[in-house]
Amino acid sequence: MDSKFKKENYTDTAKTYYPKVPYVRNCLKAFLVGGFICLIGELLTKFYMQVFDMSQQEAGTPTVTTLILISAILTGLGVYDRIAQFAGAGSAVPVTGFANAVTSAALEYKSEGYVLGVGSNMFKLAGSVIVFGVTSAYIVGIIRYIFNQLIGG
């Protein structure tokens, strides 16, 4: 028998045993959970604006800090992992997902000590995100500068 025939036959046969992925349901769960996290952020912003008489721009920093703190606490308690299992990508809203990644790595390596375990391994995943963010911001800044020079005179 031809090996190509066997490979194609195997692939076709294997596809019949794959579980059906509920794409619509998964997208809906991700949308709802991600939207709920963003709603909490909006409510926190309004809270800081009302209670501490801050402008919307001033309220941004304590809002982000509070979301990071909540995410880190929920990760430490194991709750954020259950949320992530349910929501998938919806729990990866940038600030809370990043805080979850850093906190998870810190918890995973704490048995190796604070310096060699937590300190050196905590930013393995987050480090690439930071580098990508800084590099992207730099490139977008250069593009914006050139665009402003061409348009603005």
How buried is residue 118: exposed, middle or buried, by Cβ count under 10 Å (0-12/13-18/19+)? middle
The pLDDT of residue 104 is 84
What gap in Å lies between CA 67 and CA 85, rounded to an integer? 19
Is the Cα torsion angle 139, 141, 143, 149 positive or negative in sign? negative
Mean pLDDT of the chain: 87
Q: pLDDT higher for 39 or 5?
A: 39
Examine residue 150 and state whether it is found in any structural domain, yes or no.
Answer: no
Examine residue 127 and state whether it is found in any structural domain, yes or no.
Answer: no
- Number of domains the chain is built from: 1
Element (H, E) at 108: helix 94-108
Examine residue 112 and state whether it is found in any structural domain, yes or no.
Answer: yes
Examine residue 132 and state whether it is found in any structural domain, yes or no.
Answer: no
Examine residue 116 and state whether it is found in any structural domain, yes or no.
Answer: yes
Examine residue 7 and state whether it is found in any structural domain, yes or no.
Answer: yes
With cut-offs at 50, 70 and 90, classify the pLDDT of residue 2. low
- Produce one character per residue of 78-117: b if its CB has 16 or more CB atoms within 10 Å, e if not: eebeebbeebeebbbbebbbbbbbbbbbbeebeeeeeeeb
What is the domain range of residue 72? 3-122
